[in-house]
Amino acid sequence: MDTQSQVVDKLRSAFRSGVTIPEQFRRTQLTKLMSMIKDNEEQFLNALHKDLSKPKFEAIVSEIDIVINELHYAIANLKSWMQPEYVSKSLATKLDDCFVQREPLGVVLIIAPWNYPLHLLILPMVGAIAAGNCVIIKPSEISAATDGLIAELVPKYLSQDCYAVVRGGAEETKALLQNRFDHIFYTGSQTVARSILQAASVHLTPVTLELGGKSPCIIYGRIDVTAAAYRLIWAKFFNAGQSCVAPDYVLCSPATRDALLPVLRNTLEDFYGKEPQKCPDLSRIVSHRHWTRLMELLRRSSGKIIVGGESDEEDKYIAPTVVVDVAEDDALMQEEIFGPILPILTVDSLEKGIDFINRREKPLALYVFSDESSVVDTVLQNTSSGGFCSNDGIVYMTLPGLPFGGVGASGWGSYHGHWGFETFSHRRACMLRGWALERLNGLRYPPYTDKKLSW
C-alpha cells in the first residue's frame, strides 16, 4: 500500500500531466461518481444505518438524493462554468481580449465529519472534480461503516491516478496534513479547524472551513403554531439533531412559548409515537462518547425538561427532549448542542431577541418563524449568519443555486452548485494583447511630461 506522501505525489504527477483539464474527463468522472452512488444505494443505506441508525427516508433525502442532484446540476452546467468570463474594457484595452479564466487549483484535500458521512464528503468532491482538480478525500473514522464503503468503492469507479481515499482519525489526518496541498476543504468542529489552519499555514495553503455553532430559531409575532411546531421539530430532530444547520435553540416571547409547548408535545408524539425509542424514524447518537457529552449537558442544565429526557446508553438513545426555563448562562447555551435537545429561551421583545443573537458568534444558520413579513425583514436586516430561512429549518441548504457556508466563526467560504466549482477554481485574470496602437502607448513612457498627464 502506498504511503500518504506517495499518494499525494501520484496525484500531483497526474495533475501535472493535464489529464483532468478536458471537459470530457471531468464529465466522465462525475458520471462515474453518480453510478457509484446509484449502483450501491442499498449498501450505502445499510452502512448509514449501521453508523447512525439513519432512517431510510432521511438517508435518501439527505445523503443520496442531495448528492445525485448536485451531480446532475454540475454535469448540466459544466460546459458553461468552464467558459472564459469576458469583462468590460477601457479605451486603452479596447482591442484586447480581457477575461477571467477558471483554472483548477491542483491537488486538493477534503476532510469530512461523521454526521452526514456520504453527503459531506462527496458533495464538495463534485465541485472539486468539476473544477478539474485531483482530490484526496478523508472520511470520518467515527462513521466507520460508510467510511469503509467509500474507501472500497471510490477506486473501483474513479480514476485511481487522480482521486484517492485516505482513512484514519486525528493522528493520520495530522500526518496527512504535513503534505503540501493546493487547497484544504474542512468540515467539522471549530476546535479541530484551528489545528487545520496551523497545518495549512506551513505551506500557505488556502482553506475553506465549514463549521458549526449555535443556530437560533426566533419565533415572533403572529404565527401558525401547528405548522411552526411541525417544521421546527422536523428540522431539529432530523438525524437526532446531529445536523450543523439544526435549530440549536428557540427564542420567543413567554406567550408564544406557552402556546407552543402543548403543540410541540403533540407533534413529537405524532412523529415518533408514545415510545420514541421503538420508532424506526429516529436516528441514534453516533458514539458513546457523544452520548455521554449530551447527557452531561442535560445533567448540568438547570432548565426544566417538559418532554423527553429519557435515555439508554447501550442503545446510544436520547429521547427528543424539550427544555424550558433555560437561562443565558445555562450549560445548554455554552456550546453547540448537536443532539436531540431543544432549549427554549424567552425574550420580551424582538429587539432583545436580535440583541441576544448579535452578542454571540455569527451562526451557520438563522431561522425566523412569523406570519408577519415585517418581523422576518427586521431579523434579516439586523443580523448576520451563513444562511437564513424564514418559516422553515434546514431546507434552504438543498438548493444548489444558494451558496452554503458560514460567516466568521461558523466558517469561511462556501460550496454547492456553481459556488463549489468557484471554491475549487482559481480565477485567473487574463489580458491578451497584440502590438497595435503603439503610438497611444507612447503616452505612458518616459519622459513624463505634464502634457502627457493632461491628456
Active site residues: 210, 244
**For ligand NAD, which stretch binds (CB under 6 A), given 59-67, 187-195, 254-262, 432-440?**
187-195
Of 192, 263, 295, 305, the one binding ligand NAD (CB under 6 A) is 192
Residue 236 · residue 340 · CB < 8 Å? yes
Output the nine-digit C-alpha cell for 251: 427564542
Question: For ligand NAD, what does the binding mask look like between residues 139 and 178, x meaning CB under 6 A?
Answer: -xx---------------------------xx--xx----
Position 187 contacts ligand NAD (CB under 6 A):
yes
Smallest CA-to-CA distance from 385 within 248, 227, 254 is with 248
User: Smallest gap, in angstroms, from Cβ of residue 169 to ligand NAD?
Assistant: 5
Dihedral of CA atoms 387, 390, 391, 392 in degrees, nearest 10, equals -10
User: Smallest gap, in angstroms, from Cβ of residue 364 to ligand NAD?
Assistant: 5
Position 181 contacts ligand NAD (CB under 6 A):
no
Residue 154 · residue 165 · CB < 8 Å? yes
Closer residue to ligand NAD in complex, CB, 138/316? 138
In whole angstroms, what is the distance from residue 448 CA to residue 454 CA?
11
User: Smallest gap, in angstroms, from Cβ of residue 37 to ligand NAD?
Assistant: 19
Position 136 contacts ligand NAD (CB under 6 A):
no
In whole angstroms, what is the distance from residue 417 CA to residue 54 CA?
26
Grid cell 473544477 is found at 131
Q: Phi and psi dihedrals of 86, rounded to 5?
A: -75, 140
- Exposed, middle or buried: residue 69 (CB in 10 Å: 0-12, 13-18, 19+)? middle
Of 393-452, which residues contact ligand NAD (CB under 6 A)? 406, 411
Position 114 contacts ligand NAD (CB under 6 A):
yes
Closer residue to ligand NAD in complex, CB, 220/424? 424
Of 66, 67, 71, 120, the one binding ligand NAD (CB under 6 A) is 120
Position 335 contacts ligand NAD (CB under 6 A):
no
Of 132, 188, 339, 400, the one binding ligand NAD (CB under 6 A) is 188
**For ligand NAD, which stretch binds (CB under 6 A), given 52-60, 105-113, 433-441, 447-455?**
105-113
- Please enumerate in sequence order all residues whose Cβ is within 8 A of that of 349, keeping only pairs 6 or more positions apart, or say none: 253
Residue 130 · residue 78 · CB < 8 Å? yes
Cα–Cα separations (whole angstroms), residue 431 to 82, 93, 420, 440 = 17, 9, 26, 18
In whole angstroms, what is the distance from residue 288 CA to residue 363 CA?
27
- Total residues contacting ligand NAD by CB under 6 A comes to 27
Closer residue to ligand NAD in complex, CB, 71/364? 364
Of 78, 105, 111, 153, the one binding ligand NAD (CB under 6 A) is 111
Closer residue to ligand NAD in complex, CB, 33/211? 211
Would you call the peptide bond into 447 cis, given omega within 30 degrees of 0 as the criterion?
A: yes
Look at residue 323 and give its three-state secondary structure.
strand
User: Smallest gap, in angstroms, from Cβ of residue 286 to ligand NAD?
Assistant: 8
Of 199-258, which residues contact ligand NAD (CB under 6 A)? 210-212, 244
Pure H helices in 331-387: 350-358, 373-382
Of 17-56, which residues contact ligand NAD (CB under 6 A)? none
In whole angstroms, what is the distance from residue 184 CA to residue 200 CA?
8
Binding residues (CB under 6 A) for ligand NAD: these are 111-115, 120, 138, 140-141, 169-170, 173-174, 187-189, 192, 195, 210-212, 244, 336, 338, 364, 406, 411
